[in-house]
Chain A
Amino acid sequence: MLNGLEKLSSVLLRLLILVFLLCIMPNAMAQEDDSEEEWPDMVLRDDGKCTKCHDETSDYPVFAIGKTKHGTVADSRTPTCTSCHGESDSHMDSDKTMPPMPSRTFGKNSTNTIEDRNQACLSCHQGGKRMNWIGSAHANRDIACTSCHQVHTAHDKVRDKITQSEICFTCHKEQRAQINRPSRHPIREGKVVCSDCHNPHGSAGPSMTLRDSVNETCFTCHMEKRGPFIYNHPPVQENCAICHNPHGTTAPNLLKVRSPFLCQECHEPNSHQSSLGTITGAYARNTLARGCMNCHTNIHGSNNPENVRNEGLFQR
């Protein structure tokens, strides 16, 4: 009997312990949750679960995002880590030394599609100047936003006038060579940068020009060429790039080819227009100094109302 009571007591005690344990289990869980509070948010909202590993000693340090606009938590629109990288449960739940990658990564070994990576950015940055991204030449060529932009750094090279061209030249090799030619824009000095003329996120203009056409883009700095004039030089109004290469040339004034050869690509071979290139003799006037423009002074057009001789020759 006693043994029976002892056994009953023992069972009851074990049950009680079990119940107690069951009862305290949530608290135990809660305490485990509480333990996360030991890893408070360091930079972004709800980033503690990430920054407990990704501190400055990590292979993938993330703290520098705090210096950026993304890290301005007072702005309620700013993201948390998982906004861009996804929930990444398998990454966070793993106890392996090399856990699976987060749901979305942006580095060179990313397995996410370019569209998926870009969508993380476009979910917030699809308006304004980036409205035409989808369908743009860069988007069509599978360029990821992170091919050009660095997010986890205070200094995003492509947004700095001095360093922007380095980023563009990683693909645009021809232009890298052209900016060192003797006739050039001050790109090396950071006074004219690629984004002064192009919108890399797409535009309504050709070649992703900042304005709606090549000429309108050139006019933002060279508005004196717009006219209209009394006498218009036809290619001037059609497209500045018929005669000029804005990225740099060896001929003066960013001309694609030197006078008289450039002019002879359009002008009829009647008399002096078709002279040989020469640096001596009477027709050196078409080659030396300003070449054909030695006489045809106002080559972009003339607004001179004079009625003396053929004023359409842009001589005054």
Chain B
Amino acid sequence: MASSAWAEQNDSIKRLTKPQSTIQFGAGYLSDDNARFGQFNGLRNEGLYGIFNVDILKRNDDTGTWFKLQGRNLGLKNRDIRLEHSKQGDWGYFFEFSQTPRFEPFTANTAVEGIGSSNLSVPTTPTAGDPVQLKTERESFAFGLNKFLPANFELQFHFKNEEKDGARIFGRGNRLGPPGPTATGGYEFIPEPINFSTKIFGATLNYSGKDLQLSAGYYGTLFENKNKALNIAGGSSIGGIYAPSLFSPIALAPDNQSHQGFLSGGYSFNPYTRGTFKAAYTAASQTDSFFSTQLTAPGIGSNLHGKVNTTLVQAALTSRPLSKLTLLANFRYEDRDDKTPVFLYNPNAFNIDLNGNRWSGFNTPRSFTTFTNKLEANYALPMNLRLIGGVDYEHWERTGAPQTTGHRNNTNELSGRVELRRTMAETLTGTVSYIHSERFGSNFLTNVTATGQPFFNLIAPINLADRNRDKVRLLLNWEPIEPLSVQVAVDESWDNYGDRNNSGFGVRSGNARNYSLDAAYTFSEFWQANAWFSRNETQIDQASRTPAPRELWSSKLENISTAFGVGVNGKPHEKLEIGTNFTYSDITDKFKQSITEVACCPGNTPVPNISFQQGRWNLFARYALKKNVGLRLDYILDYFKTNEWTWKGWTYTDGTRLSQDQNQWVNFLGLSAYLSWQ
């Protein structure tokens, strides 16, 4: 009896302390075709799907050697497999495979041929086509290994190759004649072929001492696009010299590569002071051969000889000079130096165009230098409060010239923060903070016409414009009674943008407001519930000017989102676990334009609001037939509804139309068995 009791105890301890393996297998049924639900998991079409997951975890307790094999969604198109073998604290290696589909949620009805290849054939007249489902799929394979070396060193290698194949929405188009408000256009559906290889690899030598830690290594990337250009046969010739059929070949993304060497480290000067740093140098290049084309400028060479060198230096120091005071200083410098040689690629651009403009035909390398600095002080007050104050400063230097947008060489942004925080309390903790920032910069450079007269210069681009921003943030965690926790989060920000030459054009102001309420309740050891609610509102006020007669108009762009979720998990019986979760989002985009009809542009219809409703109900039940064998039931109800008009009123010149089911419901029911062992 005694030995039996010990054996039972040993079994119990083993169950509690040793790694456990599980396999799960079964099948699920999808009730309906659903583009949104299946966009990234492949569960698009009605029918049966396999459920197969493995999680094998073994450890040799004598040597500390682990073997892990994890496979997820093996019966679906978004499967992941990872195999890992390691002797903890000594060596390890892993292999990983991952597959990620992306199904285009819109179905194309098209007569374009050759989709997925770099040679397309487009009908010359509008032609009704057949349904085509565009998709891309990523398949990645990765491996890595690490080895601990004497004297606290560790060596790591990693390699990942990802193949991305398929086709995605793309198009070409042009105005079919001289500019003017009534000019019509020709637009053709030319799906972009995707056949990319992306490789990321590197090696790192880490040192982890008590006070000093260092990482030195290499990080490399290689991108290869097997399609250099999209060649299009056919297409509409209406419009003569403006016809979209003349736009071929169309360049596709060129191969590129980068090589980075880096050294980063941290040093604890004493228990109260620590410094960290990173220094990195990256040499990136783009030397993909130009594809053959009709006409090129002389002397441009066989490729761009693109070369971008980036230097990064970052350092931070934290210190607690007094028991109540902590200080932080952070400095970051990044210099992206585009050394690509400049040639005249496009002499034709110098000819005065139909708008009376002429342009630069040179290639446009761009360099940036940024300095980012941060200072922060954190002081402990009575009642477990902390007062935090900080100053951030960011400086950008950019090369470039004004073309179709404004340009300024420098921008600076100075921010001040003050925050009151309470983290160490039993019932109420939280943070309230206020941030004010101002962005300003050097003078905008002046755009000039072909004859040298200033003419544009009305809009300060959103990333360059002067901007004042105020932001307040409140976060409260409240536990009024032991089983209940409540969290309230509120933040709001206000932006005011500067314009150019008092034009009143461009982005004028912005506002964002987010608030949320979360609650969690523990009924007992076996039952828990949670609920949350979020409301997010953003608004942008911006202005522009219509084509002649150049009437000012403005728009207030609003995005309003309401979302909530409710979840319950429980164990009503020793052998039964259940859980359910429901989430719902209602999102609306509004486009409040100050005018809808102007003399320049007859036939306008104001942009309608766009709304989306998306809901999902998940339910699972897990019943243990034995200690290590059981059944699992999963149910998902997914709902997507929209009035989106992006493609609704659009027909390509070749006759292609895109559409989606605007009211999508889907049910998925899965039944599986699981088996566990140690």
Q: Which A residues are within 8 Å of any B CB, using their own CB?
A: 42-43, 56, 61, 63-67, 69, 71-78, 108-109, 111, 113-114, 126-128, 131-132, 134-135, 140-142, 154, 161-162, 170-171, 173-174, 176-178, 180-182, 186, 188-191, 204, 206, 212-213, 219-221, 223-232, 234-235, 237-239, 242, 250-252, 257-258, 261, 264-285, 287-290, 293-295, 297-298, 300, 302-312, 315-316
Given contacts A268-B457, A282-B182, 4 further A-B contacts (CB under 8 A): A180-B585, A225-B253, A267-B404, A274-B547
Decide yes or no whether B12 CB sits under 8 A from chain A: yes
- B45 an interface residue at 8 Å Cβ cutoff? no
> Which partner residue on chain B sits nearest A56 by CB separation?
B16
Q: Provide the residues of chain A in CB contact with B378, threshold 8 Å.
A: 140
CB pair B593–A288 under 8 Å, yes or no, is: no
B13 touches A307 (CB 8 A): no
Q: Beyond A186-B40, A227-B254, A312-B364, is A213–B297 a contact (Cβ under 8 Å)?
A: no
Q: What are some 18 contacts across the A-B interface (CB < 8 A)?
A: A42-B17, A72-B61, A114-B423, A135-B276, A173-B532, A186-B40, A186-B100, A186-B102, A204-B280, A228-B306, A228-B340, A234-B366, A251-B589, A257-B540, A283-B604, A303-B253, A308-B294, A316-B247
Partner of B364, one of A188, A223, A231, A261: A231
Residue in B274, B312, B330, B507 whose beta carbon sits within 8 Å of that of A212 in the complex: B312
**Residues in B190-216 with C-beta less than 8 Å from chain A:** 196, 198, 200, 206-208, 213-215
Which residues of A lie under 8 Å from residue B604 when comparing CB positions? 276, 278, 280-281, 283
A9 to B169, CA, bound (A): 110
A307 touches B647 (CB 8 A): no
Partner pick for B41 among A134, A142, A189, A212, CB 8 A cutoff: A189
**Stretch of B115-123, B341-349, B623-631 with 4 or more beta carbons under 8 angstroms from chain A:** B341-349
Q: CB within 8 A of B423: which of A126, A142, A204?
A: A142
Residue B575 at the A interface, CB < 8 A?
A: no
Contact of B534 with A by CB under 8 A: yes
With CB as the reference atom, state the residue of chain B lying closest to A176: B534
B308:A228 contact, CB within 8 angstroms: yes
Q: Is the beta-carbon distance between B256 and A289 smaller than 8 angstroms? A: no
Known A-B contacts A63-B17, A76-B89, A307-B345; the reply to A228 vs B253 at CB < 8 A is no
A304 to B536, CA, bound (A): 42
List the A side residues contacting B169 at CB < 8 Å. Answer: 290
Decide: B547 and A272 in contact? CB cutoff 8 A.
yes
| Given known contacts A267-B404, A269-B505, A308 and B348 CB-to-CB distance under 8 angstroms | yes
- Given the known inter-chain contacts A206-B372, A267-B404, please indicate yes or no for A307 contacting B213, CB distance below 8 A: no
Q: Give the distance in Å from the alpha carbon of A226 to the alpha carbon of B336 in the complex.
A: 13
Contacts of A285 in B (CB 8 A): 173, 185, 187
The CB with the most chain B CB atoms within 10 A, among A42, A113, A176, is that of: A176
Cα distance A109–B546 in the bound complex, in angstroms: 62
Name the CB-closest residue of B to A266: B461
Residues of B close to A274: CB separation below 8 A: 544-547
B91 to chain A, nearest CB (A): 12
Evaluate contact between B213 and A282: CB separation under 8 angstroms. Answer: no
Q: A294-B185, A297-B250 are in contact. Are A228 and B338 (CB under 8 A)?
A: yes
Tell me if B649 and A284 are in contact (CB < 8 A). yes
Tell which of B258, B282, B376, B405 touches A234, judged by Cβ atoms closer than 8 Å.
B405
Docked Cα-Cα span, A267 to B500, in Å, equals: 12
Find out whether the CB atom of A56 lies under 8 angstroms from the CB atom of B173.
no
Asked whether A307 lies within 8 Å of B563 as measured between CB atoms, the reply is no
The 10 A-B pairs with the shortest beta carbon distances in the complex, nearest first, are A66-B17, A74-B64, A127-B208, A281-B603, A224-B253, A186-B40, A304-B251, A127-B213, A269-B545, A266-B461
A77 to B187, CA, bound (A): 65
Contact A277 B295 (CB under 8 A): no
Q: Which B residues touch A257, using CB under 8 A?
A: 540, 557
**Which residues of the partner chain B approach A282 to less than 8 Å between Cβ atoms?**
181-185, 601, 603
- Complex partner residue of A267 from B225, B349, B405, CB under 8 angstroms: B405
A271 with B355: in contact, given A126-B208, A226-B223 (CB under 8 Å)? yes
Q: Is B395 interfacial (CB 8 A cutoff)?
A: no
Q: Is the Cβ of B589 less than 8 Å from the Cβ of A258?
A: yes
A141 and B417 alpha carbons, distance in the complex (Å):
13
Which single member of B215, B426, B601, B640 contacts A275 (CB below 8 Å)?
B601
Whether B296 and A312, one on each chain, are in contact in the complex, defined by CB atoms closer than 8 angstroms, is: no
Q: A67-B18, A258-B589, A294-B171 are in contact. Are A72 and B608 (CB under 8 A)?
A: no
B198 with A223: CB separation less than 8 A: yes
Q: How far is the CB of A249 from the nearest CB of chain B, in Å?
A: 8
Q: Say if the beta carbon of B20 comes within 8 Å of chain A.
A: yes
Q: Pick the residue among A140, A279, A310 that contacts B608 (CB under 8 A).
A: A279
Who on chain B is nearest to A44 by CB?
A: B17
Contact check, A135 vs B603: say whether CB atoms are below 8 A apart. Answer: no
Other-chain residue from A113, A177, A212, A223 in contact with B280 (beta carbon distance below 8 A): A212
B355 to chain A, nearest CB (A): 6
Closest to B505 in A: A269
Knowing A173-B516, A228-B338, A279-B607, the reply to whether A306 touches B293 (Cβ < 8 A) is yes
Nearest chain A residue, comparing its CB with the CB of B559: A250
Q: Summarize A's interface: helix, strand, loop or mixed.
A: loop
Q: B271 to chain A: closest CB distance in Å?
A: 8
Inter-subunit contact A128/B461 (CB<8 Å):
no
Cβ–Cβ contact B40 & A294, under 8 A: no
Please name all residues of chain B whose beta carbon is closer than 8 Å to the beta carbon of A206 when the two chains form the complex: 372
* Contact B645 A288, beta carbon cutoff 8 Å: yes
Q: Looking across the interface, which residue of chain B has its beta carbon closest to that of A77?
A: B89
Contact, CB under 8 Å: A66 / B18: yes
Contacts of B330 in A (CB 8 A): 135
9-residue interface stretch from B23-31, B125-133, B283-291, B435-443 = B283-291
In the bound complex, CA of A274 to CA of B398 (Å): 26
Residue of B nearest to A124 (CB): B208
B173–A266 CB distance below 8 A: no
Report chain B residues within 8 Å CB of A309: 348-349, 353
Q: Do B251 and A303 touch across chains, with their CB atoms under 8 A apart?
A: yes
Are B250 and A281 in contact, CB atoms less than 8 angstroms apart?
no
Does B663 sit at the interface, judged by CB under 8 A?
A: no
Q: Report yes or no: B223 in contact with A223, Cβ–Cβ below 8 A.
A: yes
B603 and A280 contact, CB distance less than 8 A: yes
* Complex: A176 Cα to B16 Cα, angstroms: 34
Q: Shortest Cβ distance from B365 into chain A, in angstroms?
A: 6
Asked if A177 contacts B563 (CB within 8 A), the reply is yes
Contact B173–A294 (Cβ < 8 Å)? yes
> Is there contact, CB below 8 Å, between A304 and B458?
no
Chain B residues lying within 8 Å of A126, measured Cβ to Cβ, are: 208, 213, 266, 268
Among A252, A273, A297, contact of B646 (Cβ-Cβ < 8 Å): A252
The answer on a CB contact under 8 Å between B534 and A264 is: no
Between B182, B288, B423, B607, the greatest number of chain A beta carbons within 10 A of the residue's beta carbon is seen for B607
Evaluate contact between B361 and A307: CB separation under 8 angstroms.
Answer: yes
How far apart sit A71 and B66, CA to CA, in the bound complex (Å)?
Answer: 12
Bound state CA distance, A285 and B176, in angstroms? 12
Write the nearest CB–CB distance from B20 to chain A, whole angstroms.
Answer: 7
The contact of A316 among B19, B215, B250, by CB within 8 Å, is: B250
Task: Determine which of B59, B406, B540 lies in contact with A268 in the assembled complex, contact meaning CB atoms within 8 Å.
Answer: B406
Is B286 a contact partner of A228 (Cβ separation < 8 A)? yes
A-facing residues in B451-491 (Cβ within 8 Å): 455-459, 461-463, 475, 479, 487, 489, 491
Q: Is B62 an interface residue (CB 8 A)?
A: yes
Partner of B366, one of A42, A232, A270, A302: A232
Q: What distance in Å separates the Cβ of B139 from its nearest Cβ neighbour in chain A? A: 12
Question: Within the complex, what minimum Cβ distance (angstroms) separates A154 from chain B?
Answer: 7
Query: How far does the alpha carbon of A225 sit from the alpha carbon of B550 in the complex, in Å?
Result: 35
Neighbour of A63 across the interface among B13, B221, B404, B652, CB < 8 A:
B13
